[in-house]
Chains A and B, each alone.
Chain A
């Protein structure tokens, strides 16, 4: 199993450009997440999905959109990139052990995408 994979690994954008980050998992996980990691700020949740066809906002959703058309894929889109979106983006997935109202199960992370917006 490849686990959680992300493409691309690196990307440089100019302000105003758009792009899509792809996350894929082969563990049949229900839940998927997108985080951004900035120096000194830990990991902050952008958007997440609790199943195919569903998405929800996390802590820092502004400027991003997501889609979960297939259970194994979770896409993160930047419609008009800004320098403030320069960051390392991590995708993660998990499978709730006790149903959607129970405690969070272990999240497995992808290798990350380093994005620079000039």
Chain B
């Protein structure tokens, strides 16, 4: 079946450095790619998303890039801060029952 692979599973960076998380999806019909941030004990919250008609989207320190040909998309966080520490999930979908989540990346930002 369709799946989404997410790497790395854990990522440690120094405050101020950049962090990159990559996801690969298998369903070529996917056209919606959200990224969620989940702090410990909290709900997943959308931080940015991209649709298949766009190759890149940026929101302040966060950016997402999409390569539909290679079926992969990435989250880029620049100038990381301790409050960026959380688990990040990517997802790929195109219908309500086809939003498939990756297994998550635990990001730790050290001061």
Which A residues have a C-beta under 8 Å from some C-beta of B? 31, 33, 40-45, 48, 50, 56, 58, 90, 94, 96, 100-101, 103-104, 106-112
Q: Which one of B32, B43, B52, B103 lies within 8 Å of A40 (CB-CB)?
A: B103
Q: Which one of A41, A58, A96, A111 lies within 8 Å of B43 (CB-CB)?
A: A111
The majority secondary structure among interface residues of chain B is mixed
**With A103-B32, A104-B32, A106-B34 given, is the CB distance from A45 to B97 under 8 Å?**
yes
Residues of A within 8 A of B32 (CB): 103-104
Counting chain B CB atoms within 10 Å of each CB, the highest count among A42, A44, A111 belongs to A42
Q: How large is the interface on B (under 10, 10 to 19, 20 to 34, 35 or more residues)?
A: 20 to 34
| Closest chain A CB from B67 CB (angstroms) | 18
Contact A48 B97 (CB under 8 A): yes
Q: Which one of A43, A45, A112 lies within 8 Å of B89 (CB-CB)?
A: A43
Interface string of B81-94 (1 = CB under 8 A from A): 00000000101011
Contact B94 A103 (CB under 8 A): yes
CB nearest neighbor in B for A57: B97
Residues of B within 8 A of A111 (CB): 42-43
Residues of B within 8 A of A107 (CB): 34, 46, 99
CB nearest neighbor in B for A107: B99
CB nearest neighbor in A for B31: A103
| Closest chain B CB from A64 CB (angstroms) | 15
CB nearest neighbor in B for A31: B96
